[in-house]
Amino acid sequence: MSNIGSETLDYSLIDRARWGTFCLQILMGFAVGLTYQLNVWIEPLCATYGWESSTLSWMYTFFGVTGIPGAIIAGKLTERFGVKKTLKIAGIGYAGSAIIAAIPINVWFFNIGMGILVSGFMFIVYIPSLSNICKLFPERQGIAAGFSIACTSIAAAIWAPVVQSLVNVINVSLSIAVEGIITGALVLLMGFLIIEAPEGYRPKGWIPPHIAAVDNGGVGVDDIETVDRNLPWMKLIKTSGFWCLFAMLFFGYIAIRGFHSSLSYIGQQSYGLSESTGALYFSALSIGMVIGSLLYGVCSDKVGPVRTVAIGSAIMIMPLTIGLFFRQCCKTGAFFLLSITWDNTGIIYP
């Protein structure tokens, strides 16, 4: 047996307590899910302030552009302060940014406030919490990531009726500020309650695959020690893999989040759906995305995240084709198949 990584530390308490952090991922989901609510805000914002819906959709372009710098800032903050303190900072920043974005100066102020400030803090919540849960469940990284992504869709479905009720009761701008404060408080609470994965954490009885390969004589010790996956940024941006991942996440997030958040409004404007029917389709898409995220997580643990995304993208072509060329009954089935395969980009993060 090799001595690589054989240090024995008592992680039995973390082995049990990590499941609490697993469940608390739903609080992270609320931070992401709130940014999906443009389909609820868009009509009252246009009606109240005379803004154009096409201009409001730029929020998701800003959202996509914010992803890379948001992830970098999240990584730097986590390295310096740790996950728990980073989440506390993000919770306060999230609430403050939502209050600023809610000030109805003009449509571009709102787009920048929600698409850059709020979304930036959303990434500072999302990236560390997702990274931490994957480190707490190294033997089930795909399922951990899939559940975390599913939480964003669950939270989006929960947020929708809450946001609609608040918009009906109070001014839309005030409702956005209130929702941001609530979300910031939930993230702040998460920062106090979660368990942060210690460096080198391994659950009892689990052996990392690369160490198992050494112990079984599959690879040499020198082969492992010479592999460095932590590249400096200047070297990382020169690799083709970085730009492939960037393009997939950038365009994928704009398409996925933009379609998801605007589905109800698109249905009302383009197909004459009522608000309740549009909300039903939004909830159906959210539920399908929850199921899909969990399936992607299981598949990722079996065949790896890159192959999982490729498989999901290939399957996604089927419902898109059916939706274009076949009858309504087929289109309904295609919609549910599309909802399951739609959100496949996030699973590649681990």
Where do the domains of the chain lie?
Answer: 25-193+231-348
Segment among 5-19, 47-61, 64-78, 83-97 with least mean pLDDT? 5-19
Three-class DSSP category at 8: coil
Question: DSSP letter at 204?
Answer: T
Segment among 30-34, 172-176, 216-220, 294-298 with least mean pLDDT? 216-220
Q: Is the confidence at residue 190, as pLDDT, over 80?
A: yes
Two tokens at 106? Answer: 């003009």
Average pLDDT value for the chain? 76
Q: Cα(139)–Cα(219) distance, rounded to whole angstroms?
A: 20
Segment among 82-86, 187-191, 324-328 with least mean pLDDT? 324-328
- Inter-residue contact 17 to 136 (CB < 8 Å): no
91 versus 258: the higher-pLDDT residue is: 91
What pLDDT band is residue 289 in, cutting at 50, 70 and 90?
confident
123 versus 200: the higher-pLDDT residue is: 123
Two tokens at 208? Answer: 């990392």
Q: Cα(113)–Cα(110) distance, rounded to whole angstroms?
A: 5
Average pLDDT value for residue range 309-327: 65
Q: Is the confidence at residue 48, as pLDDT, over 80?
A: yes
Fold of 25-193+231-348: Growth Hormone; Chain: A; (1.20.1250)
